[in-house]
């Protein structure tokens, strides 16, 4: 009987956003428009970098990787959310839930690593401009980007393996719009202490570790910028990293709140709201931040549109 109970739950219900049909339809339209804009904006960045010779630099190579990552990070959770908003059935199998969780968090960890790498790239460009091209070679750029992707997927394999071994024999309603770790594993009828501790330690190391690298890089960057004698020189130096700094503040602020906390049961409703900021709003803002706050990209966009007219 015990074995039967431990294998009874084979699918889960994603609660999503309870409410009237009008609310569900409104959210569907809103999320669909935002998702299309995310894909369009990030594809435009990739296309722009790949087609403009003056953007064939390590900084924009990393930006291309970042834009490509944002497309898949959002795609890992938004399409299923859209389907659930207009469907009577909001179910998802255990296997699909595990896969969704794995990809969402793998892409998320990759984003931490890429942001740290981009901060290091800006540190080299501003603090060691004469040696930048020698240090940040095309080989090193590829190695750093590849390490970020591989590292992100390897890190999540540990908690994913532990979650795959959990048994679920009671309630099967996940209080979220995707298979987030916290609201999912609290449904398990087996002890989740090990999973919770591994997730907490892993997220603390990944998030705070990449945050420290980024913070130290910017301490040196700001210190170097302040030593530049001319105000125009300071403004030009700061403009090369202001876009990245804006993205870093938004991303790290929301994700530290989401994942670096000792109890996974803390404020699930609030967690759901902040996750919208993290998985939909931030990827939507990033293309605009990198184009509107970057003078070089703005100038190229003006040329492209004026040439088209």
pLDDT tens string 1-33: 444 444 467 889 998 888 788 888 999 999 999
Determine the pLDDT at residue 5.
42
Determine the pLDDT at residue 272.
75
Determine the pLDDT at residue 107.
95
Q: Residue 254 belongs to what domain range?
A: 2-308
Q: Which two structure tokens, joined as six digits, stand for 78? A: 């938004």
| DSSP-assigned beta bridge partners for residue 176 | none
Q: Which of 182, 155, 163 is nearest to 262 (CA)?
A: 182
The CATH number linked to 271 is 1.20.1070.10
DSSP per position, 79-148: HHHHHHHT-S--EEEHHHHHHHHHHHHHHHHHHHHHHHHHHHHHHHHHHSTTTHHHHS-HHHHHHHHHHH
Instruction: Give the integer Cα–Cα distance in Å for 188 and 167.
Output: 6
Q: Tell me which long-range contacts 239-245 makes (C-beta under 8 A, separation of at least 24).
A: 239/293, 239/294, 239/295, 240/59, 240/122, 240/125, 240/126, 241/122, 241/126, 242/293, 243/289, 243/290, 243/293, 243/294, 244/115, 244/118, 244/119, 244/122, 245/218
Q: Which two structure tokens, joined as six digits, stand for 144? A: 């750093």
Determine the pLDDT at residue 144.
96
**How many C-beta atoms surround the C-beta of residue 192 within 10 A?**
19
Determine the pLDDT at residue 255.
72
Determine the pLDDT at residue 268.
62
Determine the pLDDT at residue 259.
59
Instruction: Give the integer Cα–Cα distance in Å for 251 and 284.
Output: 12
pLDDT tens string 35-64: 999 999 899 889 888 888 888 889 889 989
CB distance 275 to 180 below 8 Å: yes
Instruction: Give the integer Cα–Cα distance in Å for 117 and 111.
Output: 10
Q: What is the number of domains present in the chain?
A: 1
Determine the pLDDT at residue 102.
95
> What is each CA distance from 132 to 26, 65, 150, 210, 230, in whole angstroms?
49, 20, 25, 22, 21
Determine the pLDDT at residue 274.
76
Neighbouring C-alpha atoms within 13 Å toward the C-beta of 107:
21
Instruction: Give the integer Cα–Cα distance in Å for 253 and 250.
Output: 5
Determine the pLDDT at residue 2.
43
CB distance 274 to 257 below 8 Å: yes
DSSP 8-state symbol, 48: H
pLDDT string in tens for the chain (309-residue length): 444 444 467 889 998 888 788 888 999 999 999 999 999 989 988 988 888 888 888 988 998 999 999 999 999 999 999 999 988 888 999 999 999 999 999 999 999 999 999 999 989 988 998 899 999 999 999 999 999 999 999 999 999 999 999 888 878 898 888 998 888 888 888 888 899 899 888 888 898 889 899 989 989 988 888 888 887 777 777 777 777 777 888 777 777 666 555 455 555 666 777 788 788 888 888 887 777 666 677 777 777 667 654
């Amino acid at each position: 009987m015990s074995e039967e109970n431990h294998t009874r739950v084979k699918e889960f219900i994603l609660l999503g956003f309870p409410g009237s049909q009008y609310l569900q339809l409104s959210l569907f339209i809103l999320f669909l428009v935002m998702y299309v804009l995310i894909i369009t904006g990030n594809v435009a960045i990739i296309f722009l970098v790949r087609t403009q010779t003056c953007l064939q630099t390590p900084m924009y190579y990393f930006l291309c990787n970042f834009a490509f990552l944002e497309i898949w990070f959002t795609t890992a959770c938004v399409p299923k959310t859209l389907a659930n908003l207009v469907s009577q059935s909001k179910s998802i199998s255990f296997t699909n839930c595990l896969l969704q969780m794995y990809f969402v968090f793998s892409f998320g960890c990759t984003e931490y690593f890429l942001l740290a790498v981009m901060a290091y790239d800006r540190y080299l460009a501003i603090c060691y401009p004469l040696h930048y091209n020698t240090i940040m070679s095309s080989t090193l750029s590829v190695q750093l980007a590849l390490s970020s992707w591989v590292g992100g997927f390897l890190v999540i394999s540990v908690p994913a393996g532990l979650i795959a071994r959990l048994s679920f024999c009671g309630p099967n309603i996940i209080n979220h719009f995707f298979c987030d770790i916290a609201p999912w594993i609290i449904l398990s009828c087996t002890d989740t202490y090990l999973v919770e501790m591994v997730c907490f330690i892993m997220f603390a190391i990944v998030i705070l570790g990449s945050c420290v690298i980024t913070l130290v890089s910017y301490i040196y960057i700001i210190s170097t910028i302040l030593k530049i004698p001319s105000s125009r020189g300071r403004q030009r130096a700061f403009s090369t990293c202001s876009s990245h700094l804006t993205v870093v503040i938004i991303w790290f602020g929301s994700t530290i709140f989401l994942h670096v906390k000792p109890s996974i049961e803390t404020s699930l409703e609030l967690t759901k709201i902040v996750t919208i900021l993290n998985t939909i709003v931030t990827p939507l803002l990033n293309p605009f931040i990198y184009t509107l706050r970057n003078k070089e990209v703005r100038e190229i966009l003006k040329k492209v549109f004026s040439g088209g007219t």
